[in-house]
Amino acid sequence: MPPLIMFDLDQTLAESKQALTPHIGRLVGELLRQTKVAVISGGALPQFLKQVVAQLPPDAKLENLYLLPTSGAALYKWMHGLWCKVYEERLNEAEAARIKEAILVVAKETGLINFSTPAFGERIEYRGSEVTLSALGQQAPLDAKRTWDPDKSKRRILQQALATRLPEFSIGMGGATSIDITKKGIDKAYGITKIAEHLQLPVHEMLYIGDQLEKGGNDEAALRTPIRTYAVKSPSETAFFITSLLPK
């Protein structure tokens, strides 16, 4: 059993923006009895609390759970009955405004997103340590998300165009329709390194589980660290893998 297992969230532990199923919630609860668990994704902390923490068993060992929202730009741990911030690499308001302006320009130049049309919630969200572009809106239904950019070609165009306009920031793919923008050098590799330092664990002994552990995928940054990795294609595969780790 690794001393810490880190999970991507969307399409790994749960469907995009959806809560953990009761089955996976129980499995994660069992895993927390055996080792430390971390969850890292582009969402903000409230999304983690809703998708993950609220779905765990009432007696879950939360002191073994670590949350890394906004692509690893922040780390939270459970202390004294509260989620306490260990660190956060915040974007200031001027940086957030510059990013938003660049997103609007790139959307128009590429023709990939028309901000004059209705969306499923906000398309641009400032999350403190991250600005996220959601092409269809934050609350888009799963079916719409799956069909908008299945081969990542649209997001690659947006990512490259934003990287050209915002060289002082890190531009990464998030979920099925999103682009996450953080301070330069802040990504999942950064989050992996920071939690290893905080817990004084060797990175090569930790395990990362994600659905996009490939070039251009939103878990690619993990491959730049010595962490061990295990690729899955869906939450059901993740459930099967967790079951294989747990004592019989």
Contacts of 171 (CB under 8 A, 6+ apart): 159, 162, 163, 179, 180, 181
CATH topology identical between 4-89+186-245 and 93-183: no
Q: What is the dihedral of CA 18, 242, 229, 181, to 10 degrees?
A: 20
Kindly state the average pLDDT of the residues 221-245.
96
Task: Please tell me the distance from the alpha carbon of residue 171 to that of residue 8, in angstroms, as a whole number.
Answer: 18
Kindly state the average pLDDT of the residues 148-172.
92
Parse the chain into domains and list their residue ranges. 4-89+186-245, 93-183
CATH 3.30.70.3000 fits 93-183, yes or no: no
Q: 124-141, pLDDT tens digit by residue? A: 999 888 899 999 998 889
Q: In the CATH scheme, what is the homologous superfamily, with its name and number, of domain 4-89+186-245?
A: HAD superfamily/HAD-like (3.40.50.1000)
What's the pLDDT band for 152 if we cut at 50, 70, 90? confident
pTM: 0.89
